Amino acid sequence: MRKTASRSAALDADVIIEAALVIADEEGLDSVSMRRVAAELAVTPMALYYHVEGKEQLVDLMADYSLRALPEIDVAAAWDTELERHFIAFHRLFVAHPAVAEVTSRRPLEGPTATRVGEQILQLLTAAGFGDAEAVAVFVALFNYTVGASLYRLSRHRPLEHRLANVTDEATPISRRLRDRFVVAGAEEQFVDGLRRVIAGYRPR
Amino acid sequence: MRKTASRSAALDADVIIEAALVIADEEGLDSVSMRRVAAELAVTPMALYYHVEGKEQLVDLMADYSLRALPEIDVAAAWDTELERHFIAFHRLFVAHPAVAEVTSRRPLEGPTATRVGEQILQLLTAAGFGDAEAVAVFVALFNYTVGASLYRLSRHRPLEHRLANVTDEATPISRRLRDRFVVAGAEEQFVDGLRRVIAGYRPR
DNA sequence: ACCTGAACACCGTTCAAGT
DNA sequence: ACCTGAACACCGTTCAAGT
């Protein structure tokens, strides 16, 4: 049953994207190769190229596909709490799918889903009284903080082999004392606390 | 002369790191391979492994090496302007060396230089009256915002081939109107404006 | 229209060997 | 101590061919 379903699934872009996302979530983006995805789908590597331009595009498609899980935005709601709510969702998405955070930090998100989400956030801000330039400034500032905080948290939660290779063991006292605090700084509450402060830095004219 | 100098330079970690940084700055981190670095040094790929553990460590060493260019911190200066000054330097370093920004976003910086810089920033903050937890919170928030903003700026300044592959041409009116504003949002002034607002969100108790 | 097979030009790294 | 050479198990992608 299940076997038949997965085997007989006609090869198309979505099937390829989903298989790639499974690999990325389980083993990291580095393990996503055209050959590996093909093997997972019991197909020749070159079969993928009929549905997808290449690895670069596949990775972009993975990101946009994942963004579909973001909640809808109420453009009529209070801008500050709505932004807080939405960027927390962003953060959770990135933490759940490290590959998406990685792609987001490397390239502008310009797929259909990313575009739609961006539109809604800008509508929310302009409806709240922000001018065009200010709306973009708020959006980008929150986006940057969120991406940075997500990458920070991910970098502290990965297995030790992925950490810096040449750790100095003769760390000075203050860093020893604060070392665990830096790990705590990756917790969601710390992200939310900072997010609120960033939002509070902006007001409609 | 020059030829002799570069050819006769004894192979050691620093020489390897410098060669790798040149490649990274000119062609991107993806072009940095052990084989390519070796070729640039007119040496066998395996010769590198005598001085460096592997590619992972080389990349980590590249990041820490670059951080040496950061300015010294005056721990007795006003904490807010000093932080602003230093994170602007961070931002400029990331923009000048995209590979360093990339590595920084992927792994915790735990090399000797990174550790020293971190110590100084924490000393600055504790000297200003912040408690341990608050000092780390301010540090990490600013760090995350800066890394995110740097990656944002880099992602908008890369050649078009590196941009998202499947751009939708039927973008809605509002995104067309704001599209160039998103590019402008990557400018340094916009980064500094946001940085000031984030800093303003914190005060010593 | 959709997929396969063979091939090309790459990777990082291990292992044994040279000097 | 420092480097080379050959080999292994991988990559992404092109190109011609099958059905």
Q: What is the pLDDT of residues A105-161, one digit of tens each?
A: 999 998 999 999 999 999 999 999 999 999 999 999 999 999 999 999 999 875 443
Predicted local distance difference test score (pLDDT) of residue B177? 63
Estimate in Å the CA A28 to C1' D7 gap, whole number: 28
Instruction: Give residue B127's pLDDT.
Output: 96
pTM of the model: 0.91
* Comparison of pLDDT for A60 and A161, the residue scoring more: A60
Set of chain B residues whose Cβ sits within 8 Å of the Cβ of A111: 164, 166, 168
Q: How far is A9 from chain B (nearest CA, A)?
A: 24
* C-beta of residue A151 within 8 angstroms of C-beta of residue B106: yes
Angle at which helix A79-96 crosses helix A98-106, to 10 degrees, equals 110
pLDDT band at A172 (very low <50, low <70, confident <90, very high): low
Inspect the interface and report whether the beta carbons of A163 and B64 lie closer than 8 Å: no
Q: Which residues on chain B are in Cβ contact (under 8 Å) with A174?
A: 119, 122-123
Query: Do the beta carbons of residue A141 and residue A133 sit within 8 Å?
Result: no
Coil, helix or strand at residue B171 = coil
Distance A47 CA to D19 C1' (A): 14
How high is the pLDDT of residue B173?
55
What pLDDT is recorded for position A10? 83
Q: Which residue has the higher pLDDT, B195 or B165?
A: B195
Residues belonging to chain B: 205
Mean pLDDT of chain A: 88
Q: Which chain A residues are within 8 Å of B171, Cβ to Cβ?
A: 115
Between CA B22 and CA B35 the distance in angstroms is: 15
The Cα B61–Cα B76 span in angstroms is 30
Predicted confidence (pLDDT) at residue B8 exceeds the cutoff of 80: no
Yes or no, beta carbons of A105 and B105 under 8 Å apart = yes
pLDDT confidence bin for B162, thresholds 50/70/90 = very low
Does the CB of B131 sit below 7 A from strand C?
no
CA of B56 to nearest chain A CA: how many angstroms apart?
7
Is the CB of B51 within 7 Å of strand D? Answer: yes
Q: Provide the pLDDT for residue A187.
A: 94
Question: b or e along A70-100 (b: 16 or more beta carbons within 10 Å of the residue's beta carbon)?
Answer: beebebeeebbebbbebbbebbebbbebbbb
Which of B141, B164, B200 lies closest to A111 in CB terms?
B164
How many Å from the CA of A124 to C1' of C11? Answer: 47
Evaluate if residue A1 carries a pLDDT over 60: no
